[in-house]
Amino acid sequence: MSELKDFYTIDDAIAMDYETTKELQLKHLNRERTLAGNSKYFVKAEDCWFTDHEGNKHLDMIGAVGVVTVGNNNEYVWKEISKVFESKQYMMGAIAYHNIAAAFAHNMALLSPGGKLTKMGTATGGAEAVEGTIKLIKLACRNDPKRAKILACQGGFHGKTTGAVSVGGKEKWRMYQHPLMECVDHVPYGDAEALEKALKDECYMAFYLEPIQGEGGIIVPPEGYLKKVRELCTKYGTYMVADEIQCGCARTGKMWAVDHEQVVPDCLTFAKGFSGGLIPFGGYICTEELYEAAYGSIETCFHHTATYQENGISAAAGLASLQYILDNHLIEAAAEKGAYFISELKKIQEKYPEIIKEVRGKGLMIGMEFYEVPDGYKEGFGEYFADPVNDTLIDKYHIQVNHTINNPAVFRFLPPLTIKKEDIDYTLTCFEKAVQMCREHCR
């Protein structure tokens, strides 16, 4: 490589300074998206804390949008992945036996809702997992021509690939992707009557929903809604697909968000928290009946393949993350810490009812919806009070949070499940100060 000018080694990249990193990223990667973010340069990440290039500490209360469930750079997960790497086992190949992937699939079946989702397909992330389910559903329904459509929810988010945005319920992400899949309709989220009215046509292969909408604004459906969805999908012969990419993996105080109502969907997508944020990984689990209908023949079994499917290193990250969650009782921790966090946030809401419209969530999946900033005060402040509160937490108090992308009035807390109570208390103190600043601005 001597003839290539400025060719970087791993050591070079690790030692790269802020200015060089900024220059190269803006030159070669998504410039506008980078500049639209908070443009921090973090040189170290451990559990719930980052260190930037100037030595400042930042508290991670967003967890890469729910990815680092077990904390940043979890030492246990790294060591377990290293065991597999050092074993020099065969990691690739679509038609070979894979012991690590097989073990992960087995554990996922054990932990699946009701223990009934016993078949798995893997992917490199959430959007690809959703695409995999679309193909799964289409193949399963290939002999039923009247079922040619998919039903999903308004405000839903399932990724940004073409199939995933077709299923998603936000025109903002669909507008430049036309022609989209034409076979997708949307109904209001949480509205069982609207769902039944649509399903009565018996033209839908599947109904996609998030058990708790993430990007839609951390929307928790009415109690009993998920059970009603299951009942209606069964009644009208439609597969129920639960997207648990953001709300799964112990995030809500249950292994799966559907577990709050003891509902077993036909298919469930996963990603984000299942690799400790260390390796791209995702997939779906489904019933044997659904999987066999799609891929249970030599004619169809090769209709969905991927280069890195059932990869051993990714599966090792999944195995290790699950083991850490169970050994350290993070499901219970998410429920307990989340209940405390939400309770304290609601106390702040009661003190500032003109600023905060609602606090909602389950476990450590928490959203705050804010009112619109009054006319005359928006310049340099934002459309919703969520904007200055978000920016103040990031810039003044070094607490990492962000908005939900389908609802700008909401920002959220999705911290690692390893978050300590004292860090929650620090966040609460800073959050209230930021809200107080909003009140003073509008006086």
For 108-132, give the DSSP string.
HHHHSGGG---EEEEESSHHHHHHH
Assess whether 344 and 407 both reside in one domain.
yes
**Shortest CA distance to 247 belongs to which of 103, 105, 417, 49?**
417
| 435 inside domain | yes
- For residues 87 and 58, membership in a common domain is answered with no
For residues 276 and 374, membership in a common domain is answered with: no
7 in a domain, yes or no?
no
- Asked, for residue 129, whether it belongs to a domain, the answer is yes
Residue finishing a domain among 310, 327, 344: 327
364 and 377 in one domain? Answer: yes
Mind listing the pLDDT tens digit for each residue in 244-284? 999 999 999 999 999 999 999 999 999 999 998 999 999 99
Residue 31 within any structural domain of the chain: no
Q: Is 287 found in the same domain as 365?
A: no
- Is the confidence at residue 1, as pLDDT, over 60? no
Domain end, chosen from 287, 306, 327, is at: 327
Of 35-49, 78-92, 228-242, the range with the lowest mean pLDDT is: 35-49
d(CA 96, CA 436): 60
**5 in any annotated domain:** no
Please give the pLDDT value at position 2.
Answer: 57
Both tokens of 265, joined, read 């969907």
Q: Which tops the pLDDT comparison, 33 or 69? A: 69
Please check whether residues 84 and 66 belong to one and the same domain: no
List CB contacts of 257: < 8 A, sequence separation 6 or more: 210, 211, 212, 242, 244, 247, 248, 251, 362
Contact 260, 229 (CB under 8 A): no
Q: Taking the alpha carbons of 336, 341, 344, 350 in that order, is the dihedral positive or negative?
A: negative
> Would residue 436 count as lying in a domain?
yes
Q: What is the token pair recorded at 223?
A: 């109690």
Q: Are residues 197 and 300 in the same domain?
A: yes
Residue 106 included in any domain: yes
pLDDT, one tens digit per residue, over 152-185 is: 999 999 999 999 999 998 888 877 788 888 899 9
pLDDT (tens digit per residue) in 180-210: 888 999 999 999 999 999 999 999 999 999 9
Residue 13 lies in a domain: no
Task: Tell me the percentage of the chain whose pLDDT exceeds 90.
Answer: 82
| Residue 28 burial class via C-beta count within 10 angstroms: exposed 0-12, middle 13-18, buried 19 and up | exposed
Q: How many CB atoms lie within 10 A of CB 339?
A: 14
Residues 236, 359: one domain? no
Task: Record the tokens describing residue 133, joined without a space.
Answer: 């389910």
CATH number, position 378: 3.90.1150.10
Q: How many CB atoms lie within 10 A of CB 58?
A: 19
289 and 167 part of one domain: yes
Q: Quick one: pLDDT band at residue 93, thresholds 50, 70, 90?
A: low
In this structure, the answer to whether residues 293 and 391 fall within a common structural domain is: no
Show the DSSP H helices in 262-385 as ranges: 288-295, 312-327, 330-351
- What sign does the dihedral 371-420-252-260 (CA atoms) show? negative
Output the domain CATH number for residue 265: 3.40.640.10
Query: If you average pLDDT over each of 337-341, 391-395, 399-403, which comes out highest?
Result: 337-341
CB count within 10 Å of CB 54 equals 9
Residues 423 and 320 in one domain: no
Cβ contact 388:401 at 8 Å? no
Domain end call among 312, 327, 342: 327
Starting from the edge strand earliest in sequence, which strands make up the sheet with 407-413, in order?
Answer: 356-362, 365-370, 407-413, 402-404
Provide the domain limits for residue 58.
Answer: 37-70+330-441
Q: What is the pLDDT of residues 325-357, one digit of tens each?
A: 999 999 999 999 999 999 999 999 999 999 999
Is residue 435 classed exposed, middle or buried when 0-12, 13-18 and 19+ CB atoms within 10 A define those classes? buried
Judge whether 164 and 215 are in contact, CB under 8 Å: no
One domain for residues 427 and 281: no
Per the structure, the count of domains in the chain is 2
Q: Tokens 């990249």 appear where?
A: 13
